[in-house]
Amino acid sequence: MSETQIEPATGLWLEGSTPPRPGVPLTLRPGIQLFLANNPSSWTFEGTNTWVLTDQGQAIVVDPGPVDEPHQQAVADWLAAREAHLEHLVISHGHWDHSGGAKPLAALTGSSGVTDLRGSADGTPLPFGGDSGEHLLVYRTPGHTSDGITLLWPRHKVAFVGDTALARVNPYIHHPDGTVTDILESMDKLAGLLDDSWLMLSGHGPVITSPRSHLVRRMTSRQRRIAEVRAHHEDGLVEEQIVNAMYGDRGEQTRRAAAATVQALLAHITERN
């Protein structure tokens, strides 16, 4: 029996619990499945989360992951086994670990390709579920990148937030495309849209419970980082010295992300001066 034929596990992947196995779907609740891509790294943590939504024979895939044939095949096989038509293939932002698998998955499923929602006005409905009147809502949430979006599924009280929020850390800012000003505004927007009865489903890592409280904590953490960088900057430290002071030696990939974040924080501080 192949991994794609294994009966899906059910439950939430929460902080501190074992992540799902790549290729084996985890059903969070009826109509919401998580497929974890097998691309772990210091940038992607355990890998990219691909979310598969189903309703009345229709499906939406959010973030098909990187180009990875077994990953896209697992999603396509799962949809085919349930005779679910892939109505929309959505990316939360353009980073390759989220969007690279779009064309392969479209080819495997016969779908028309990406439904690009990244220029949508806040609150734009995305119809879903045939004649049920079901829909999702699209909101712009830039910051990690300039093109980030979030999808809200009000019936299930879940928000697919891409890399705007993560369970364990604040996502890095892909400066200069992403900005601290934008990420703070996006987090504040989400805190106003969601209460703590919702779930946030990120592009990497575990499910975020109590999202409004989580966002408030993470915004406070961002403000502490801003104050820390400002203090170093006022002490005369340059960018590389600030990265060393705040992050030390954590490996090349982590250091690159840290450097991008420090650049973004310095730009934010300069804008506010």
Q: Which two tokens stand for residue 100?
A: 């690279």
Give percent of the chain above pLDDT 70. 95
Classify strands 85-90 and 58-62 as parallel, antiparallel or unpaired.
Answer: parallel
Give the highest mean pLDDT range of 8-17, 131-140, 148-157.
Answer: 148-157
Separation between Cα atoms, residue 272 and residue 170, nearest integer Å:
21
Separation between Cα atoms, residue 111 and residue 200, nearest integer Å:
27
Classify strands 199-202 and 158-162 as parallel, antiparallel or unpaired.
Answer: parallel
- Give the model confidence (pLDDT) of 191-213 as tens digits: 999 999 999 999 999 999 999 99
pLDDT of residue 254: 76
Residue 243 · residue 225 · CB < 8 Å = no
Mean pLDDT within 42-54: 95
- Give the model confidence (pLDDT) of 57-80 as tens digits: 999 999 999 999 999 999 999 999
For 4, phi and psi rounded to 5 degrees? -70, -15
**Average pLDDT score over the chain:** 93
pLDDT of residue 131: 64
Confidence of residue 156 (pLDDT cuts 50, 70, 90): very high
Separation between Cα atoms, residue 64 and residue 114, nearest integer Å:
10
Give the residue from 55, 51, 117, 111 showing the smallest Cα distance to 86: 111
Q: Which two tokens stand for residue 251?
A: 């490996």
Distance, first Cα to last Cα, the chain: 62
pLDDT of residue 252: 74
Q: Which two tokens stand for residue 103?
A: 């064309």
Q: Which two tokens stand for residue 126?
A: 């995305």
Residues 6+ apart with CB under 8 A from 12: 28, 199, 206, 207, 209
Separation between Cα atoms, residue 4 and residue 78, nearest integer Å:
7
Confidence of residue 7 (pLDDT cuts 50, 70, 90): low
pLDDT of residue 130: 67
Least-confidence region, from 60-64, 93-97, 133-137: 133-137
pTM for the model stands at 0.94
Amino acid at 179: T
pLDDT of residue 8: 57
